[in-house]
Chain A
């Protein structure tokens, strides 16, 4: 079966532009997570969806970041007025909703803001 997919795989954008990153989770996974990983660093938690609702938005770095999920499936992460410090790999993961279920990660979107 298909794993978690993300698009685009790479995105280069100019400072100040808006970008949209997309995540297609594994079918049936109700939990969806977004993380940000700077080069050589750990995973910074951004947001978590259970179904279409986001019980925890505490990780979003600023109000330029927003995310939505529709139909309990696809999610988009939007970054408005991008800044150079937004450059990172954005990882999406999905899982079933239970403590013991591991996350399955997508390949990530590498965002470069010039």
Chain B
């Protein structure tokens, strides 16, 4: 069964504006972690941000923040002040404590317009 859902195949944002990339997940494990990765056209996978299921506050890392709504099982990535270099594929992922494997969503292709 699909555990991670990213409903936006593609998104466009104007340079310097903020953008939200959606991610919902499904799990019955009370202990899990949520991750966002960026994959530029070069193909490398770059870790951006992590949110634990027991974390009380939303995670932030520079221009990246994670809007964690546990009851809704959503973990949206917010990128503030978009830059041209933010154009890439973005993947949401989840790791459950009980089995430790890591599953990824289908990804969202973000294009930042000048």
Chain A positions within 8 Å of B, measured between CB atoms, are 31, 33, 35, 41-43, 45, 48, 50, 55-56, 89, 91, 93, 95, 97, 99-100, 102-105, 107-108
Question: Once the chains bind, are A91 and B45 in contact (CB under 8 Å)?
Answer: yes
CB B41 to nearest CB in A, in angstroms, measures: 11
Residue ID in chain B nearest A108 by CB atoms: B43
B100 touches A97 (CB 8 A): yes
Contact present for B44 and A107 (CB under 8 Å): yes
What 1/0 mask marks residues of chain B from 14 to 39 whose CB sits below 8 Å from any chain A CB?
Answer: 00000000000000000111010000
B96 to chain A, nearest CB (A): 8
A102, B91: Cβ atoms closer than 8 Å = no
Q: Does B68 lie at the interface of the complex (its beta carbon under 8 Å from any beta carbon of A)?
A: no
A35, closest chain B residue (CB): B104
Q: List 23 A-B contacts (CB under 8 A).
A: A31-B100, A33-B101, A41-B107, A42-B106, A42-B107, A43-B104, A45-B104, A50-B100, A56-B101, A93-B45, A93-B102, A99-B32, A99-B52, A99-B95, A99-B100, A100-B33, A102-B47, A102-B50, A103-B35, A103-B45, A103-B47, A105-B44, A107-B44
Is A56 a contact of B99 with CB atoms below 8 Å? yes
Q: Is the CB of A99 within 8 A of B44?
A: no
Which chain A residues lie closer than 8 Å to B50 at the CB level? 100, 102
Residues of chain A lying within 8 A (CB to CB) of residue B31:
99
